[in-house]
Amino acid sequence: MSDVVERTYRRVVRAWCLYDWANSAFATTIMAVVLPTFYSSVAGAGLPPARATSYWGYTNSIAMALVAFAAPVLGAIADHAGKKKRMLGAFASVGVLATALLYLVSTGDWLLASVLYVFGRIGFSGANVFYDALLPHVAKPEEIDQVSSAGYAWGYIGGGLLLAVNLAWILFPGTFGMADTEMASRVAFVSVAIWWALFSIPLFRHVPEPPASRQAHESRGYLQAAFARLKHTFAHIRQYRELLKFLIAYWLYNDGVGTIITMAAVYGAELGIPSEHLIGAILMVQFVAAPFAFLFGWLAKKLGTKRSILLALAIYGAISVMGYFVTNTWQFWVLAFLVATVQGGSQALSRSLFGAMSPKSRSAEFYGFYDISSKFSGIIGPSVFGLVGAAMGSSRYAILALVTLFAIGGYLLWRVDDQHGVMVAADEDAATLAPA
Check whether 308 has a pLDDT greater than 80. Answer: yes
Q: In angstroms, what is the C-alpha Rg of the chain?
A: 21
| Distance in angstroms (rounded) separating the CA atoms of residues 277 and 255 | 25
Phi, psi of 134 (to 5 degrees): -75, -20
The Cα 408–Cα 4 span in angstroms is: 47
At 166-215, the pLDDT tens digits run 999 999 999 999 999 999 999 999 999 999 999 999 999 999 999 876 66
Contacts of 330 (CB under 8 A, 6+ apart): none
Range 59-65 average pLDDT: 77
What's the pTM value of the predicted model, to 2 decimals?
0.87
Does residue 151 have a pLDDT over 90? yes
What average pLDDT score do residues 239-248 get?
91
pLDDT in tens, 94-140: 999 999 999 999 999 999 999 999 999 999 988 998 999 999 999 99
pLDDT of residue 33: 84
pLDDT-derived band at 157 (thresholds 50, 70, 90) equals very high
For residues 29-55, one letter each, b for 16 or more C-beta atoms within 10 angstroms of the residue's C-beta and e for the rest, the string is: bbbbbbbbebbbebbbeebeeeebeeb
What span, in angstroms and rounded, lies between the C-alpha atoms of 242 and 80?
A: 24
Q: Is the pLDDT of residue 292 over 60?
A: yes
pLDDT classification of 1: cutoffs 50, 70, 90: very low
218 pLDDT more than 60:
no
Q: What is the pLDDT of residue 227?
A: 65
Contacts of 11 (CB under 8 A, 6+ apart): 206
Measured CA distances, 161 to 91, 184, 337 (Å) = 24, 16, 18
pLDDT digits (tens, 9 = 90+) for 355-409: 999 988 888 888 888 877 776 655 566 666 667 767 777 677 777 888 888 999 9
Distance of alpha carbon 342 from the chain centroid: 15
**Per-residue pLDDT at 434 exceeds 60:** no
Backbone angles phi, psi at 131, to 5 degrees: -65, -50
Which pLDDT score is estimated for 262? Answer: 65
Q: What angle do CA 9, 289, 418 make, to 5 degrees?
A: 60
pLDDT digits (tens, 9 = 90+) for 328-345: 899 999 999 999 999 999
| 3-state SS, one letter per residue, for the chain | CHHHHHHHHHHHHHHHHHHHHHHHHHHHHHHHHHHHHHHHHHHCCCCCHHHHHHHHHHHHHHHHHHHHHHHHHHHHHHHHHCCHHHHHHHHHHHHHHHHHHHHHCCCCCHHHHHHHHHHHHHHHHHHHHHHHHHHHHHCCHHHHHHHHHHHHHHHHHHHHHHHHHHHHHHHCHHHHCCCCHHHHHHHHHHHHHHHHHHCCHHHHHHCCCCCCCCCCCCCCCHHHHHHHHHHHHHHCHHHHHHHHHHHHHHHHHHHHHHHHHHHHHHHHHHCCCCHHHHHHHHHHHHHHHHHHHHHHHHHHHHHCHHHHHHHHHHHHHHHHHHHHCCCCHHHHHHHHHHHHHHHHHHHHHHHHHHHHCCCHHHHHHHHHHHHHHHHHCCCHHHHHHHHHHHHHCCHHHHHHHCHHHHHHHHHHHHCCCHHHHHHHHHHHHHHHCCCC
Q: Report pLDDT for 433.
A: 53
* pLDDT at residue 240 tops 80: yes
Decide: 60 and 113 in contact? Cβ < 8 Å: no
Q: What is the pLDDT of residues 20-59, one digit of tens each?
A: 999 999 999 998 888 888 988 899 888 887 677 678 767 8
Amino acid at 56: W
Average pLDDT over the chain reads 87
